[in-house]
Amino acid sequence: MDSEKKMPERWMMTSGENPLERVAFALETPRPGEVIVEIAGCGVCHTDLGFYYDGVRTNQPLPLTLGHEISGTVTQAGEGAGDWLGQTVIVPAVMPCGECDACSRGKGTICRAQKMPGNDIQGGFASHITVPARGLCRVDVDRLAEVGLELADVSVVADALTTPFQAAVQAGIGEGDLVIVNGTGGVGGYAVQVAAAMGATVVAIDVVPEKLAAVREYGAALALNARDFDPRSLKKEVIGFAKGNGLKTTEWIIMECSGTAAGQTAAFGLLNHGATMCVVGFTMDKVEVRLSNLMAFHARLLGNWGCPPELYPGALDLVLSGKVKLAPFVEQKPLNDINAVFRDVHDGKLIRRQILVPGS
């Protein structure tokens, strides 16, 4: 019985109709270039809910363990990966192969051989995971302790933080910019902090007062509830704020993080001359917009899939330096509570990013 308790476990999705199921499994010896990570924590992402509730297809057929925001400790290493043994790490949410033509040209986010835990391979709602060693991000646990964080907490760096970080880098956010973050839960909350850390003045938009109150304390110079405005008056409100604070009324950077059709439509309506709109949130719903606005405003629309592993250290440093706060926006729960946590997140009952912790 004791040996059974110590066996690695993972929570498997068999269908969207059945609860996630706990399954014991045997660890296989990692192949060359692979490592086994004992998981400290795995964040619950909107994408996981899309797979489970909304019928979004995973690349690997079910049954499958979801979860792609993972931190932990390397406990086994295959040939060529021995230097990782004992290292505390963040596993990138999207892992390019590093060898194809796209990767060689610095376009790892469109690598066709990329691996995403909980989509292409078994994911992080488990006690252990086997992943390629290439691209792992080392975590200095002493620096973590200095900012009051545990290893499990930085699991959300993979995706929740690095995705808006890449969007900000791609958009070229810098000093003096006005950045509008639409949708401030999860990824959006970190988008606010990242943009502020890069020197921008940030306007946050959401429909949940509690989320707006949180980001008002952490980076948002102005917080607006979209339910208080029609599209025209919302844009007018931002223009008034910009003029009143000596900011540009052109070339706004709009980070659409809501992952809803209504949010995407509202964000597109905020385009102005020279604007950049970053599509960060995901939805299966379709929207109807006038693409000619991009032409008329000489604006640009940027997609944003994951984050290249080489950008992870920069994103993590924002946390370790205290410029981006994680603690007010995360909450740890036992992995055994996964089904209840999924329901609560899906029903909008939880404000903070949920981190599921094995063995707790």
**Predicted pLDDT of residue 5:** 55
CATH superfamily for domain 2-159+307-357:
Medium-chain alcohol dehydrogenases, catalytic domain (3.90.180.10)
Q: What is the pLDDT of residues 211-221, one digit of tens each?
A: 999 999 999 99
By C-alpha distance, which of 312, 311, 309, 315 is closest to 97?
309
**Predicted pLDDT of residue 1:** 39
- List, edge to edge, every strand of the sheet that includes 9-13: 21-24, 9-13, 64-65
Tell me the average pLDDT across 220-244.
97
Q: What is the pLDDT of residues 45-88, one digit of tens each?
A: 989 999 999 999 999 999 999 999 999 999 999 999 999 999 99
Evaluate if residue 4 carries a pLDDT over 50. Answer: no
Crossing angle of helices 46-53 and 338-346, rounded to 10°: 100
Sequential DSSP letters for 190-208: HHHHHHHHTT-EEEEEES-
Q: Are 2-159+307-357 and 162-303 in the same CATH fold? A: no
User: Is residue 41 helix, strand or coil?
Assistant: strand
162-303 CATH pick, 3.30.30.10, 3.40.50.720, 2.40.160.40, 3.40.250.10 = 3.40.50.720
Bridge-partner residues for 129, per DSSP? 37
Evaluate if residue 202 carries a pLDDT over 60. Answer: yes
Indicate the pLDDT class of residue 282, thresholds 50, 70 and 90: confident
Indicate the pLDDT class of residue 283, thresholds 50, 70 and 90: confident
Domain boundaries, the chain: 2-159+307-357, 162-303
